[in-house]
Structure 1
Amino acid sequence: MESKSIEEITERKSDAFEPLVIIEFTSGTKQAAIEWLMAHIQESKLDGGAELEVKMMVPQHQQATILYIGASLDRYLVSAEMMQMRKPHTAGDLREFTISDLENFKGSGEMSTFFTTAEKQKIILKELNSIRASEFDLHIPGYENYKLYPGKRIVKEYLRREVAVRLFPLHEEEFIDKLGKEWYMPRQCCSVQPIGKIQKYFGEKIAMYFAFLGLYTISLIPPALIGIIYFITYWRSVYREAIFAVFNLVWSTIFLESWKRYCSELSFQWGTMQSVVAKFEEPRPDYFGKIGKNPVTGKAEPVYPKLKRVLRFYLVSLPVTAMFLGIAFVFMLTYFWMQAWADNVYFKNKTLLQYPIIFAPTIVYAISIGILNAIYRKVASLLNDFENHRLQSSYENHLIMKLVLFDFVNCFISLFYVAFYLQDRALLRSHLACLLITSQVTGQIKEAMVPFFFVKRRSQQMERAMKKAASFKTGEGTPEVDYTVQKQASLESTMDQYEGTMDEYLELFLQFGYVFLFSSAFPLAALWALLNNITEIRTDAFKMCRIFQRPFAESASGIGAWQIAFEVIGLISVITNCALIGMDPEVQHLMPSSMSTVNMVLIFVAVEHVVLAVKAAVAFFIPDVPRWVEVEMARVEYQSKQALIKENVAASYRKKQMLRKMFLSKEN
């Protein structure tokens, strides 16, 4: 099929302005800074701009300038090709979009819906982040102290300096209403999540989180059922605990391997598998350094010495993390001192009114763990920014490493202390139950109830404010933006910004540890986690649709370093559960009295290795990639090679024809 030029394609476009992204300034922002940024957004790519469409409005009810940003169809097409965006092809697979092959992509007959809104917003963000300061841009206009250097990302600097206070994409009200009815409504509490629609609206990264949460919740059903059976029966034996522990350890491996397979299916369907994504990841927007040239791509980008990054990690990040680990250890010692005091008070005067005192230290300790975790998360984020990682994947992996290390110690150090130093099985069971239940209850209050009341109050406040604003002032030379869009932007500007999936994964990681690290001591842990996650899915969905501003869609091929973190917990669980069972007095009595301590340790090490071998065998016999995905990947690779061969043959034929014409002309 003959390819069409971009001019012919864009003849079908509508002239209507479609605002999809909002930049909001404060009422005190200098007009020179706003107009300078507008000029850069509208300038052509050749002149260093973003070549986007922008309109400026000043709502009367807040007197803060708002920029409404959209793009023309040709800008979307060119940017999608430059970003190597993958779209469904008529051949039945996902291929990198090219303008020359547009007619062979599904949906190209209706260009107004060819790109999803999430894809358009992703393109706009990419173009906004491409606006960099030139050598002539010394500072932000109107703010001489806000210095710029060549290559600095201007929009990011506006946000960092709080010259602009918000940058967010607009929701699609009709789509989000339909999605909400399928996702978070009470009658959908036990239904399958619409993962495909979540991916289409929020992007692959968020869809991966909800897919993982859904599979993890389902995988908790078998250990929860066994835990209930153990709770209601009278069988009390070390064999019972050993059977349950071995089942949990093997089952956790089956879950993680099943997730790998499911993740492979999703990433292939969405075109984000590692084998087919772009090989050269661009620097993240916040990466800074002197402008140089990428030795692989030849593109201009910031360059930062690796030695400086290493020194910042070892001389700053590592000592600060060690200091927080010390604080966590002091908190644990304080808790046990408080618990000893509470026990002493209760046993001196055993009354019903005094009974809650026994649990007060554990509840306070659980809450303090959450507070310390929240403080360290902010510190870890600042440390990660300070290290200045080039790639977003590297940035996230280092942040995950910091958070996992600290939260593991902060949340589980007291459990290890009780299990292996005090060796008190009853205290371990009650302490684990109290920590798990308290963290889940406080989490549900913080994540579900509080945001629900806040969003209702915000909606009422904004409705009153919008009624007072009968009209909107428009910047010179710019047409008005539809009132409905202005109202929507004003309402969504009051919503909380979505901070990403990091905290959500960390919460699941800690819960996974509570369930499996000491499963032989508290079989009901899986039941509590299951009940929490059933509501967690719906509350998280409600927040995504109604509480948070819409996040920009991000690509993802999996859950990243979190996969390794969960697998490490699975390995540590083998050691902790084998040690718990081995230290049980009933097991000690089963051993010959003449057996030395060394021989007993060797026996339990051998048992531990047997369980590890079983886990390894299970992981080995469950392929990470389903067979049908392997076949489809091979088919795509084959078709790509055939297309390349066909193109080379056609080029060779054209070259021969040209040479033949040259020879014929010479003979004549």
Structure 2
Amino acid sequence: MTELDTSEKVKLSSTSSPSPSPSSSLPPAWLQNDLVTLFKPDPEPKIAIKQLQLFANQLVHAGFKFKIRLNKPGSLLIFVRASDRLVIDASYQAQVKDWLHGIRTTLPDPPVVKGKLDANLPIAERLRLVHAKLTGALKDQGLGITPARGDWEHVESIFALHDPEFDKAWLKRWSTKWTLDEAELDIIRDSFGEKVGFYFAFLQHYFQWLAIPSILGIISFFFFSPFSIWFAVASCVWSAVFVESWKRKQVDLAVRWRVLGSSALPVERPEFKPAGEIRDAVTGQTVDYYPSWKRVVKQFAAIPIAIVAGALLVALQAFVFVIEIFLAEIYDGPLKQYLVFLPTALLAGLVPTFTAFYNILITRMTEWENHAAKHTFETSITQKLFVLNFLTSYIGLFLSAYVYLPFGHLIAPNLDLITAVAVRLIGERANTTTTASQFTINRFRLRQQYVYFTATAQVINFFVETILPYLKRRLFKEAQKKLQSNHVVIHDVPADNPDEVKFLNRVRAEAEFPDYDVAEDYREMVVQFGYLTMFSAVWPLSYVFSFANNWVELRGDALKISLDERRPIPEKAESIGPWLNNLAFLTWLGSITSASVVVMYAHAGSGDGENNDATGSSLVNVNSWLLLLGVLFSEHVFLVVRYLVRQVFDAFDSTVQQADRKQEYENRAAVIATASNKFNQAEPHEQDDEEDEEEVVRLGKAEVDYGIELLKRTAKANRTEAESSGQASADVKKEL
């Protein structure tokens, strides 16, 4: 690679001297850069200088402009901006790729024809193109910079800066709107990319659809009996219709945003290790290759590990569940008022620890699978995380609904054993535990748990996700002011330009922000959907609380992105990815759990009347065959309803897709018209035309002569035949 000239080397080397002084000031406006690189070189000055020169050479020869400022001792902020020509070329190449793969219907005009950067190019598209240029593979004409990996470990991160004016206007608009229209979704897409745009579109769609079951939930809670079969049926039908409606909605959005089929252009992972190269059967290009059968074998090999990890998690939660039952409903000894919090403490300490270990395990397992594309890697790891989230979120309700309430009466006969264990562990003071005749099953338990998960936990989550970061920001600012008032001035570190102080302070603060992870927000909504579709018959008002929570969640997520986390690097997407399959799975499972809960507890009451407690007898007095029949009937009805809903949606064509097909037809018609005009306007070759005309005349004359000869011969033959016929008639008459 060609290096910078000597003068450039001197300038770059001087920035690593004890008193770095960039050659020109940076205006205090983020629009003067596309991306910011957090650069943490080696502590050894000579190595640090070489690393910086290498990075600068890459930027310069790729057409990037950059400015360097100090972040803090030991790290630099490199503000990178792409030239218009670089963005024009990258945009054109991306559009040509889209056209080749059928994502767009018109071939883009070459940059030479266009001449200048498209003024309507969304900022998200510009940031995506620039980021792809920096981090893309060398074979794809990228620079191959992989932050914090390999040869680029000193490039800690590459991130985009927030636009304070946009964020302020965004939050102000949303605080005064009840719902979001298509224009707002387009603004999000143009600012943060399709991947984030699809999340907000899904959340808005989900929020609007929750209005129907919220109304039904209020009616059911006040006017129907507990565990209403009618509300359970309505909930199952609603969930099926909602999932199918979102399928249609996301296709409409993909068409509207011109990304339908974009998954055919995957972003290659820099960690991918090809086994060789092959020629693509479609494009004919040489591409990296890794045998699919090897990846499948690795995925199957990971299943036993996932099963063992899941079993351990279930065992852990079951153990804590038993301790909770014992302390809350059996134990009556000393320190009970404090010991009742032990299960919560165990869950708070053990489950996150296990979850962190499981996350590390599945990340390594998924990396071992060696996915070539980023979206397939994310799909694989998302599905593994979904299993973990399913177990941690719902196992408590499953234990209460299908273990404690149906079989809790079996605790009483074994109470002496439990008491003996308590005495052995605690001492004789534990003899105050409940006797077998006093033990009762808490019929409120399932509803109490469900109310906590669908109401209380969502309030707590909002506080942790939105309010707590705000308080932390305020405290951090106050602490920073005190530190600045008492800090020791290091004379070797240059002071910021007064015109840049405010801007640089904001950049340094954003450099410390965590990366925004849209998968975490999807996880939260999918878990909530699971609570509603599987157990809403327990407490119909859960839909009302979720409806209110999601209105706040829309604004809270916007606030989180704007103030608490880094601006997401825009990515293309044509759907919500594997989360749609997770929603469909929960919808199917909800048809089973809702039916089983209704059959088991509809006649047991809500726990509000007489016989609220059960002593030595089960709360579930339902024949197992009746339970199985109810579950199978519910599942099959659900499958039929889902099939009918799909047929109904397919019967009504989407206006968005109609408009897209119309545009595609008009584009193709325009191509045909252009080709026809060119053909009609083409000048004929005179000599060829003269020869053609003479040939036509000659052949025509010959054919006419031949036709005349045929007519003459036919006329003569007709006369001869007539004469012969007349003579024959005369002979016949004469004989007669």
- What TM-score do the two structures reach when normalised by structure 2? 0.70
**SS of residue in 2 equivalent to 1:390:** coil
Residue equivalent to 1:175:
166
Question: 1:389 Cα shift?
Answer: 0.9
Compare CA radii of gyration and give the structure with the larger one. Answer: 2
Output the amino acid matched with 2:192: F
Output the amino acid matched with 1:263: Q
Tell me which moved more, 579-588 or 532-541.
Answer: 579-588
Residue equivalent to 2:213:
223
Q: Is the 8 A contact 1:366 1:438 kept in 2?
A: no
Q: Is the 8 A contact 1:265 1:625 kept in 2?
A: no
Q: Is the 8 A contact 2:128 2:570 kept in 1?
A: yes
Residue 432 of structure 1 pairs with residue 423 of structure 2? no
Candidates 384, 392, 401, aligned match of 2:383? 401
Relative to structure 1, the CA distance from residue 302 to residue 608 in structure 2 (aligned partners, 3 Å threshold; closer, same or farther) is closer
Candidates 629, 638, 651, aligned match of 2:656? 629
Relative to structure 1, the CA distance from residue 617 to residue 55 in structure 2 (aligned partners, 3 Å threshold; closer, same or farther) is same
Aligned residue pairs total 593
Q: What whole-Å deviation, never above 9, does each CA across 1:156-176 have from its counterpart, x for those lacking one?
A: 465786311121012223222
Relative to structure 1, the CA distance from residue 195 to residue 359 in structure 2 (aligned partners, 3 Å threshold; closer, same or farther) is farther
Q: What whole-Å deviation, never above 9, does each CA across 1:266-314 have from its counterpart, x for those lacking one?
A: 222211123xx47443423443336735514455554334344334333
Relative to structure 1, the CA distance from residue 501 to residue 444 in structure 2 (aligned partners, 3 Å threshold; closer, same or farther) is same
Residue equivalent to 2:131:
125
Output the amino acid matched with 1:526: Y
Question: 1:232 Cα shift?
Answer: 4.4
- The correspondence of residues 81-480 of structure 1 with structure 2, limited to 5 A, is 81-84=92-95, 97-99=108-110, 111=117, 113-130=119-136, 132=138, 153-156=144-147, 158=149, 162-183=153-174, 185=175, 187-188=176-177, 194-232=184-222, 235-236=224-225, 241-274=228-261, 277=262, 279-289=264-274, 292=277, 295=280, 296-299=282-285, 301-315=287-301, 317-345=302-330, 361=343, 365=347, 369=351, 372-373=354-355, 375-424=357-406, 426-437=444-455, 439-457=457-475
Residue 578 of structure 1 pairs with residue 578 of structure 2? no
CA–CA distance in structure 1, aligned partners of residues 584 and 232 of structure 2:
16
Residue 618 of structure 1 pairs with residue 641 of structure 2? no
Q: Is the 8 A contact 2:592 2:631 kept in 1?
A: no
CA–CA distance in structure 2, aligned partners of residues 456 and 130 of structure 1:
38
**SS of residue in 2 equivalent to 1:448:** helix
Output the amino acid matched with 2:225: R
Residue equivalent to 2:514:
496
Residue 22 of structure 1 pairs with residue 32 of structure 2? no
CA–CA distance in structure 1, aligned partners of residues 665 and 191 of structure 2:
32
Residue 605 of structure 1 pairs with residue 632 of structure 2? yes
**SS of residue in 1 equivalent to 2:535:** coil
**SS of residue in 1 equivalent to 2:538:** coil
Residue equivalent to 1:32:
50
Output the amino acid matched with 2:39: F
CA–CA distance in structure 1, aligned partners of residues 651 and 332 of structure 2:
55
**SS of residue in 2 equivalent to 1:65:** strand
**SS of residue in 2 equivalent to 1:496:** coil
Tell me which moved more, 72-81 or 610-619.
Answer: 610-619
Output the amino acid matched with 1:333: A
Candidates 540, 545, 551, aligned match of 2:562? 545
Q: Is the 8 A contact 2:588 2:635 kept in 1?
A: no
Q: Is the 8 A contact 1:58 1:472 kept in 2?
A: no
**SS of residue in 2 equivalent to 1:583:** helix
CA–CA distance in structure 2, aligned partners of residues 487 and 299 of structure 1:
48
Question: 1:152 Cα shift?
Answer: 9.6
Question: 1:504 Cα shift?
Answer: 1.1
Residue 506 of structure 1 pairs with residue 523 of structure 2? yes
Question: 1:426 Cα shift?
Answer: 3.7
Question: 1:624 Cα shift?
Answer: 9.1
Q: What whole-Å deviation, never above 9, does each CA across 1:305-346 have from its counterpart, x for those lacking one?
A: 43443343333x334322320221111221222122213456
Output the amino acid matched with 1:73: D
CA–CA distance in structure 1, aligned partners of residues 538 and 562 of structure 2:
39
Relative to structure 1, the CA distance from residue 544 to residue 597 in structure 2 (aligned partners, 3 Å threshold; closer, same or farther) is closer
CA–CA distance in structure 2, aligned partners of residues 469 and 191 of structure 1:
51
Relative to structure 1, the CA distance from residue 355 to residue 258 in structure 2 (aligned partners, 3 Å threshold; closer, same or farther) is farther
CA–CA distance in structure 2, aligned partners of residues 282 and 629 of structure 1:
28
CA–CA distance in structure 2, aligned partners of residues 661 and 483 of structure 1:
77
CA–CA distance in structure 1, aligned partners of residues 142 and 105 of structure 2:
34
Relative to structure 1, the CA distance from residue 486 to residue 600 in structure 2 (aligned partners, 3 Å threshold; closer, same or farther) is closer
**SS of residue in 2 equivalent to 1:271:** coil
Output the amino acid matched with 2:665: Y
Q: What whole-Å deviation, never above 9, does each CA across 1:8-49 have from its counterpart, x for those lacking one?
A: xxxxxxxx9932111111253622112112212222xxxxxx
Question: 1:249 Cα shift?
Answer: 0.8
Relative to structure 1, the CA distance from residue 612 to residue 347 in structure 2 (aligned partners, 3 Å threshold; closer, same or farther) is farther
**SS of residue in 2 equivalent to 1:167:** strand
Residue 520 of structure 1 pairs with residue 537 of structure 2? yes
CA–CA distance in structure 2, aligned partners of residues 515 and 156 of structure 1:
41
Output the amino acid matched with 1:178: A
Residue equivalent to 2:616:
none
Residue equivalent to 2:414:
none
Output the amino acid matched with 1:38: A
Relative to structure 1, the CA distance from residue 413 to residue 491 in structure 2 (aligned partners, 3 Å threshold; closer, same or farther) is closer
Q: Percent identity?
A: 22
Q: Is the 8 A contact 1:41 1:52 kept in 2?
A: yes
**SS of residue in 1 equivalent to 2:603:** helix
Relative to structure 1, the CA distance from residue 114 to residue 605 in structure 2 (aligned partners, 3 Å threshold; closer, same or farther) is closer
Relative to structure 1, the CA distance from residue 158 to residue 603 in structure 2 (aligned partners, 3 Å threshold; closer, same or farther) is closer
Relative to structure 1, the CA distance from residue 246 to residue 39 in structure 2 (aligned partners, 3 Å threshold; closer, same or farther) is same
- What TM-score do the two structures reach when normalised by structure 1? 0.77
Relative to structure 1, the CA distance from residue 459 to residue 291 in structure 2 (aligned partners, 3 Å threshold; closer, same or farther) is farther
Relative to structure 1, the CA distance from residue 469 to residue 508 in structure 2 (aligned partners, 3 Å threshold; closer, same or farther) is farther
Relative to structure 1, the CA distance from residue 557 to residue 509 in structure 2 (aligned partners, 3 Å threshold; closer, same or farther) is same
Relative to structure 1, the CA distance from residue 635 to residue 585 in structure 2 (aligned partners, 3 Å threshold; closer, same or farther) is closer
Residue equivalent to 2:548:
531
Output the amino acid matched with 2:382: I
Q: Which consecutive residues of structure 1, in runs of 5 or more, have no partner in the other structure? A: 1-15, 44-50, 88-92, 135-149, 589-594
Output the amino acid matched with 2:296: V
**SS of residue in 2 equivalent to 1:24:** strand
Relative to structure 1, the CA distance from residue 362 to residue 491 in structure 2 (aligned partners, 3 Å threshold; closer, same or farther) is closer
CA–CA distance in structure 2, aligned partners of residues 662 and 57 of structure 1:
70
Relative to structure 1, the CA distance from residue 596 to residue 80 in structure 2 (aligned partners, 3 Å threshold; closer, same or farther) is closer
Q: Is the 8 A contact 1:86 1:97 kept in 2?
A: no
CA–CA distance in structure 2, aligned partners of residues 171 and 662 of structure 1:
69
Output the amino acid matched with 2:170: L
Question: 1:209 Cα shift?
Answer: 0.5
CA–CA distance in structure 2, aligned partners of residues 386 and 662 of structure 1:
71
Relative to structure 1, the CA distance from residue 65 to residue 585 in structure 2 (aligned partners, 3 Å threshold; closer, same or farther) is closer
Relative to structure 1, the CA distance from residue 600 to residue 260 in structure 2 (aligned partners, 3 Å threshold; closer, same or farther) is closer
Question: 1:501 Cα shift?
Answer: 1.3
Residue 559 of structure 1 pairs with residue 597 of structure 2? no
CA–CA distance in structure 2, aligned partners of residues 429 and 496 of structure 1:
37
